[in-house]
Structure 1
Amino acid sequence: ILQTDWVENTEAIPEGLIRGLISRVIPNAYSSAFRDRYRMRLERGEESGTTEIFISHQGIQEVVTDENDGGTITWEPRPSDPGLESVMLKRMMIFLGVEPEQAKQLVAEKKAAPDRAELTQKDSEQAVLLLHENYSKAWRNVGIVLDRIDFAVEDRDRLQGLYYVRYNDPLKGREDKGLLSKLAFWSSNDDRQVEHLQIKLTDDGTNTRVVVLNSKGEHETSVTAVRILTLLFNELK
């Protein structure tokens, strides 16, 4: 896994004559309230001798709170942007030798196939996320989403369909501590207990079933399992 630092999104700064004049004199006079970072994950491809590249985006924005007390600036998460992921993927393709027009076409084909998902749970039974796509595509998309929402993936086994994750429920003992408390919600905290869980994918013909297992590989029926699958569903639907 390769991950960039938080980079200022200068495209979010409005263009204009005044900005242009001032920027020539003072290059850093303007700054954006948005920051982006990207995570690139490499996996062995299904075909021998190939490698698959996955790119996910994370964003934060500057928020001013306590305005009556002079204002306190914090950085809050903002939704991942699939459009930015496509831009970075296209740039990576071109960097690796793909012709610009071909890279554009490949990215367009990727956009033309939106993901669809269903989340079901009957009474106290285990929650199930059903993805209407084949196993290979489902494995790829679940991995991208786990990167987007910044889960701590400790290990993965594609043949067994398992992602081993470290999860800390952000709603347990949560305090508003700004960026780190919301993005790195599995980090050490005396008020929370880290859970080691498994996200299991099963090939079901044209569909793929996704469930959450505990550290022993047993069905997890807690609220935590529902919360994790809901996070995945919201990104994959």
Structure 2
Amino acid sequence: MNTISRFALLALVASLAACSVLETDKIDYKSAGKAPTLEVPPDLTQLSRDNRYAVPGGAVTANSYQQGLANAPGLPTALTNIGDVRMERSGSQRWLVINRPADQLWDPVKDFWQESGFLITTEQRNLGIMETDWAENRAKLPQDIIRGTLGKLVESMYSTGELDRFRTRMERTPNGTEIFISHRGMQEVYSSSRQDQTVWQPRPSDPELETEFLRRLMVKLGVSQEQSKVIASAGAPVQTARVANVGGQPVVQISEGFERAWRRVGLALDRTGFTVEDRDRAAGTYFVRYVPPNPNKSDPGFFGKLFTFGSGKTEAPLKFRILVKGQGDASSTVSVLDGNGAPDTSANAQRIVQVIADDLK
């Protein structure tokens, strides 16, 4: 094909794409990466048994999570009724509550993401954390006649300019498992006025995408399509969080008891770029560090710059403790502690509580 013909084809494709309708009601992810060689999880019996993380009646730390898997009673893997899986909602957040032990859910959840077009890049079975790679939702591309006719021949000419990745976190409960799915997105934007260069930068998480994948996971676990749609559409978001100052320390005040506040704060941390290294539910503490959500790692992005102290370079990830403290049955507070467990009143702490509060609304 000569140059003139190539440009003519490109012009025709662009013209038809402009007239097409986006199929926004579909999900069709395609990973651009190759499957990594996943390491076999270490012998979990060798994990440290630090008493700091011992939680009576079942816990969600690395040690007690895996102990719970080993000791959990056998439950049926096939759904006999919808009562085995349900969806909880608070604000814009949703999660699944499943009456099965986590060891029976890990492989089906992994299969679910791979069947959805993703590669698994992180598997921390001892912590109950699984993360996909960055992938593009090809359903957002224009379904024009040229693409429909020529298929893969012109597939590489199309791009949505958006990438998504998802983190799945499982927490064991006395009656089964809770599953949280959090979304993180990137978008490609021009970095120069001449529009000849682009960079990837974070875009807001999408609660609707999270809900859709939770709904699809319900179907994977045995709930019918019709039932999953009814469950996912139930309820309405209610604003439950606000930033306040208590004794000179910035906090998030949540109009919910500890149990729901604990779940929601964990999901907010997953959404906003913090890596939960461990968690002590009895003490209400998440041990976190921050990792900028950049797929090409060439630019720290907005949240990466949050921890830059005038040097022009992003410092090494800082470690924090996020403390969730219940105050009766209908109120909780969230505060930031430094890596040593001391109250943090710095500007960083103020920014962190604001990020958490914004996600909880």
Relative to the length of structure 1, the TM-score reads 0.83
List gaps (5 residues or longer) in structure 2.
1-128
Residue of structure 2 aligned with 1:72, choices 197, 209, 228: 197
User: What residue number does 2:346 align with?
Assistant: 222
Q: Check the 8 A contact 1:149/1:183 in 2, yes or no.
A: no
How far apart are 1:17 and its partner, in Å? Answer: 3.0
How far apart are 1:179 and its partner, in Å? Answer: 6.0
Residue of structure 2 aligned with 1:23, choices 148, 151, 154: 151
Q: Check the 8 A contact 1:23/1:29 in 2, yes or no.
A: no
- 1:7 and 1:24, CA in 2 relative to 1: closer, same or farther beyond 3 A? closer
Distance 2:238 2:132 in 1: 27
Letter in 2 for 1:34: E
User: What residue number does 1:201 align with?
Assistant: 324
User: What residue number does 1:61 align with?
Assistant: 187
User: What residue number does 1:8 align with?
Assistant: 136
Distance 2:211 2:133 in 1: 19
- 1:232 and 1:208, CA in 2 relative to 1: closer, same or farther beyond 3 A? same
* Aligned residue runs from structure 1 range 160-199, under 5 A: 160-167=283-290, 181-182=300-301, 185=304, 192=315, 194-199=317-322
How far apart are 1:38 and its partner, in Å? Answer: 0.8
Residue 252 of structure 2 aligns to a residue whose secondary structure is strand
User: What residue number does 1:154 align with?
Assistant: 277
Distance 1:85 1:179 in 2: 27
Q: Check the 8 A contact 1:9/1:35 in 2, yes or no.
A: yes
Q: How many residues align structurally?
A: 224
- 1:151 and 1:118, CA in 2 relative to 1: closer, same or farther beyond 3 A? same
Residue 169 of structure 2 aligns to a residue whose secondary structure is strand
User: What residue number does 1:83 align with?
Assistant: 208
How far apart are 1:193 and its partner, in Å? Answer: 5.1
- 1:18 and 1:203, CA in 2 relative to 1: closer, same or farther beyond 3 A? same
| Structure 1 ranges of 4+ moved more than 4 A | 177-180
Q: Check the 8 A contact 2:273/2:290 in 1, yes or no.
A: no
Residue 121 of structure 1 aligns to a residue whose secondary structure is strand
Q: Check the 8 A contact 1:42/1:54 in 2, yes or no.
A: yes
- 1:10 and 1:129, CA in 2 relative to 1: closer, same or farther beyond 3 A? same
How far apart are 1:147 and its partner, in Å? Answer: 0.7
Please say which structure displays the higher CA radius of gyration: 2
Letter in 1 for 2:285: L
Distance 1:193 1:31 in 2: 33
How far apart are 1:77 and its partner, in Å? Answer: 0.9
- 1:127 and 1:63, CA in 2 relative to 1: closer, same or farther beyond 3 A? same
- 1:119 and 1:162, CA in 2 relative to 1: closer, same or farther beyond 3 A? same
Distance 1:163 1:49 in 2: 22
Relative to the length of structure 2, the TM-score reads 0.56
User: What residue number does 1:173 align with?
Assistant: none
User: What residue number does 1:213 align with?
Assistant: 337
List gaps (5 residues or longer) in structure 1.
171-176
- 1:195 and 1:7, CA in 2 relative to 1: closer, same or farther beyond 3 A? closer
How far apart are 1:222 and its partner, in Å? Answer: 1.1
Letter in 1 for 2:286: Y
Q: Check the 8 A contact 1:33/1:62 in 2, yes or no.
A: yes
Matched, 1:133 2:256: yes
Distance 2:168 2:142 in 1: 29
Q: Check the 8 A contact 1:12/1:34 in 2, yes or no.
A: no
